[in-house]
Structure 1
Amino acid sequence: MARITHGIACSHIPVLGYAFDHGKEGEAYFKPAFDGFGWTRQFMAEEKPDVVILVYNDHASAFDMKIIPTFAIGCGELYGPADEGFGPRPVPPVEGHADLAWHIAQSLILDEFDMTIINEMEVDHGLTVPLSMMYGHVDKWPTKVIPLAVNVVTYPPPSGNRCWALGEAIARAVESFPEDLKVQVWGTGGMSHQLQGPRAGLINKEWDNRFLDRLVGDTQELRHIPHIEYLRETGSEGIEMVMWLIMRGALGKSTKALHRHYHVPVSNTALGHMVLEPVDGTVPPSPTLEGNSAAAQARIA
């Protein structure tokens, strides 16, 4: 059966994409940021996941104020890079894994998560920058990708607890897929940053590193952080870190850190990156499907 082998957290700062695309990785300003991904690129070359479930937020490329899905899963075959105002990034298109994506969508909906299913969309820097950080310059991405978009742009975003629970439900879905696949779950966005207003440029190193600390081990404290704390301590865009909790929830009861990188500033933003491995991958059973054999069998079918 399919199995989740690792989780990766990574900021998706757009200027990293710009620097990457224009060969600036070695420049004095950018080099410390990019150096933190050397370990991970070697790890990815050795690990070779078949599929990445990539949790990110769209930046008005696929969705705008007309349609604001809280959780949306891409079930298509191919996703091109979006034009974000300066033309599409010069990176390969993203190949999906439609069979696994549809299986996950069915399982999540039967687990009582109201998912929006997307068959056609373009993906922006929220998804493509992490791929560039992990794989470098390639002609084709070495893995298939299932995009999972989360609304953290317009209030109300989902709670950290809901995101963690969604990760647990994703783990149940993956484990019930019969094909032998190595799957990773990535959570992107963050860390502390505010892009506008009197607090523009806010970075909270201490809070960020406490957050990274609590991704490791068996604590579930992070799922209970209220929105107001993200806003107060990490700026208006710090709420993106709830997407990391989907990744963490998918890894089960306990984790260990294989690699950690934190650097400031990158375009007035804190850069965070971590590679996690499940120690005890046990995920709680669905509270909604427990004992509901008909629905449970439908989810697994």
Structure 2
Amino acid sequence: MTEIVLGVGASHSTLMNTHWEKTLHKDRAERFRDALRTARDELAAARPDTVILVGSNHFRGFWLDLIPSFTIGVGECVASGESGTPKGPQPVDVPLARHIANSLVEGGRFDVAFSARLQIDHGQSHAIQYLLDGLDVEIVPLVVNVFAPPLPTLERCEQLGHAIRETVLAFPEGRRVAVVGSGGLSHRLPWPDWREPHGDDEEFMVGGWLNGRENWQDYDARRREIIRAAEAALNPGFDDEFLTLVERGQTHRITEYTTEALEKTAGNGAQELRTWLLTAALLDHAPARRLAYEPMPEWLTGMGVAVLDPASSTPHTAPAAERQP
């Protein structure tokens, strides 16, 4: 019997690794880091065999020559190792990954992309570093396009979460499965719409996204300078409202936002909330416990952590009409 035993949603920021000593709000940073440790301990206590790791990619594993909406790693998985995050091969639960991909396609639910040699970046390896530290688990990496429009709609992401849940629970070999969604909360990156870059910096960024498949490291120094020069644009009020929805088992209500409205309200980085939504749907929208929320302007991001425990209470599944935007 395969069961889904726990879910975690957590923000990520490589500035935790590269600029910790320059962080001004150390008390906030330490509370967030402590919450990651608590979530890691709860994952360990849940004893998963496999973690479905839902994350984004920041143009270090995918480039504009090919951007699928959803990609499942079904073979090798290599972390790029930028900014002090883990580097090198990661253990993949290949049988479960291929079962998910096959079931989604053959069942006519989703024509997901798959990769037999997937490169991930801190959009997932940050979670490996802090949430899976020391855990003897394999992963099923799921990459969601959140930065190269057109993006998959929020509603489509929720539908995929429910579809993957069905395939996982039907896996005949038996697994204890946890789910981690990495990304968000509110933040704005100095990244252009790749279709309309304006100015030298934006043209440089788009050039790296298009041409960096073989030499993405060559673009990193200037790219980091552009990011570090950006002003923080957080929306703590939105973040609190979103985390309240997660706590109540109502994460599906974020689908009321269009892609454009979400960016206007919470920044282009908030498009990563698709990873939380997918995670919540995989947990059948079980209510969560908020472990931390800290607005971190030094990291350009509202940093949150929540744990979804399906054993803690009866999951909330909204009627189909309620889930309509």
Matched residue SS, 1:118: strand
Shift in alpha-carbon separation, 1:35–1:60, aligned structure 2, 3 A: same
Distance of aligned partners of 1:235 and 1:90 in 2 relative to their CA distance in 1, 3 Å threshold: closer
Paired residues of 2:160 and 2:278 also in contact (CA < 8 A): yes
Shift of 1:283: 7.4
Offset at residue 47 of structure 1 (A): 1.6
The CA deviation string for residues 229-257 of structure 1, in whole angstroms up to 9 with x for no partner, is 211111121111122111111111x4222
C-alpha distance in 1 between matches for 2:163 and 2:140: 15
* 2:256 match: 224
Cα displacement (A) at 1:261 = 1.1
Of 49, 55, 79, 2:77 maps to 79
Contact 2:123-2:182 within 8 A present in 1 as well: yes
* Identity percentage of aligned residues: 29
| 8 A Cα contact 1:95 1:145, kept in partner | yes
Other-structure match for 1:234: 266
TM-score (normalizing by structure 2): 0.77
Question: Which residue number corresponds to residue 5 of structure 1?
Answer: 5
SS in structure 1 at match of 2:301: coil
**Comparing 10-19 with 240-249, which one deviates more in the overlay?**
10-19
Note closer, same or farther for the CA distance 1:283–1:178 as it changes in structure 2 (3 Å cut).
farther
| RMSD value, Cα | 2.7
Per the alignment, in what secondary structure is the counterpart of residue 16 of structure 2?
helix
Measured against aligned partners, the alpha-carbon deviations of 1:68-102 in whole angstroms (never above 9, x if no partner) come to 010000001x4222154x6x745563100110001
1:106 partner letter: N
Deviation at 1:216, TM superposition (A): 3.0
* Native 8 Å contact 2:287 2:316 kept in 1: no
Distance 2:274 2:186 in 1: 12
Distance (Å, rounded) in 1 between the aligned partners of 2:248 and 2:74: 32
- Amino acid aligned to 1:251: L
Alignment of 1:251-270 (within 5 A): 251-252=283-284, 254-265=285-296, 266-270=298-302
Alignment of 1:277-292 (within 5 A): 277-278=309-310, 279-280=313-314
Structure 1 residue ranges without an equivalent (≥5): 285-301
* Per-residue Cα deviation, 1:206-230 (whole angstroms, up to 9, x for no partner): 1011111112334332222211221
Hey, which of these two has a bigger chunk of helix by percent? 2
Give the equivalent residue in structure 1 for 2:168.
Answer: 174
Amino acid at match of 1:213: T
Task: Answer with 145-154 or 110-119: which moved more.
Answer: 110-119
Equivalent position to 1:206, from 220, 237, 244: 237
CA contact (8 A) 1:111 1:169 kept: no
1:124 to 121, 126, 140: 121
CA distance in 1, matches of 2:48, 2:139: 10
TM-score (normalizing by structure 1): 0.82
Report the CA distance between 1:103 and its aligned residue. 0.5
Tell me by how many angstroms 1:281 deviates: 5.4
Tell me which amino acid in the other structure corresponds to 1:205.
P
Which of 115, 131, 135 aligns to 1:134? It is 131
> Mapping of 1:88-99 within 5 angstroms?
89-90=85-86, 93-99=89-95
2: CA distance between counterparts of 1:100 and 1:175? 11
Match of 1:294 in 2: none
Unaligned runs of 5+ in 2: 192-228, 319-325
Q: Does the 8 A contact of 2:295 with 2:301 survive in 1?
A: yes
Task: Measure, in 2, the Cα distance between the counterparts of 1:124 and 1:199.
Answer: 21
Aligned 1:90-109 pairs, distance under 5 A: 90=86, 93-109=89-105
Change (3 A) 1:10 1:194: same
> 1: distance between equivalents of 2:94 and 2:257?
34
